[in-house]
Amino acid sequence: MTEWETERLHAHYRQALSVDRLLYDSETAHQRIRVFENGTFGRVMTLDGVVQVTEADNFIYHEMLTHVPILAHRAARRVLIIGGGDGGMAREALRHAAVEHVTMVEIDAGVVEFCREYLPGISAGAFDDPRLRLVIADGADFVRDCAEFFDVIIVDSTDPVGPGEVLFTETFYGRAKRCLAPAGILVTQNGVPFMQGDELTNTMRAFRALFADATCYLASVPSYAGGPMAFGWGTDGDARATPLDVLEGRFAGAGVATRYYTPAVHLGAFALPPYVARLIP
């Protein structure tokens, strides 16, 4: 009989993926990690029963959280990733030759270790890139104590429960902003607005108090069920106003091959349907 992994993240909605072959099942000090094969999504990683990444559709999430801020920024050289233990965010950021340094802060060394073994295609060698510095620490503690400055900060967090909860607070966002270089950009994972509207509203309320330009943009990631996903955007610069022809020039110059991101998709992602726009204070 087929085993099913049932995600119970939302109170009145569930999704289930068939566990065609279980590859890993273990509890760390922070969370329960499972990796299994699924006929549609390939290898799937769940943390405490919630889908975090799949081989088949991770490119959408990772491309949109990296290429949008990096290409919108005039000259992103230093990138900070909070979370991202599977290595996919680092993979996409390091595809930009102009990016000189990426610091990745992951709370759970166990996630990194088993992703390198069981999901190596997601990091695609990123952990061996000399431009990457991996720090095993709590992201909230890192930004509190950080004396460095970054052009782009990407918060690749889990949902706001358990270890990820602190990464959705006003205190965390304020400290992260202090780590931004002038005209730097902060982007965040903010869940599926149709299901998690309060999560987006709370983040946007904090962003509106911190940044001159605060909004979100959208992308549809099939394994994050319930509608398009929202990514928070905050900056004191004018990067969101970068015109299409400039984005196209930067994209061509970067020489990055993508499967979801294009400059046109980049601009269109900021066009919010009314039900999402109403969630922004």
For the chain, how many residues are written?
281
| Separation of alpha carbons 172 and 176, rounded Å | 6
> In sequence order, what are the beta bridge partners of 7?
15
Burial (CB < 10 A; 0-12, 13-18, 19+), residue 27, is: exposed
Closest to 177 in 3D by CA, of 212, 201, 221, 133: 212
**Is 159 among the catalytic positions?**
no
* Long-range own/partner contacts, residues 84-87 (CB < 8 A, 24 or more apart): 84/154, 84/156, 85/111, 85/112, 85/115, 86/45, 86/52, 86/53, 86/58, 86/111, 86/115, 86/119, 86/122, 86/123, 87/112, 87/115, 87/116, 87/122, 87/123, 87/124, 87/126, 87/127
Edge-to-edge strand list for the sheet holding 32-38: 21-27, 32-38, 42-47, 50-54
Say which of 156, 198, 238, 245 is annotated catalytic: 156
| Separation of alpha carbons 141 and 257, rounded Å | 34
Query: Which residues are the active-site residues?
Result: 156
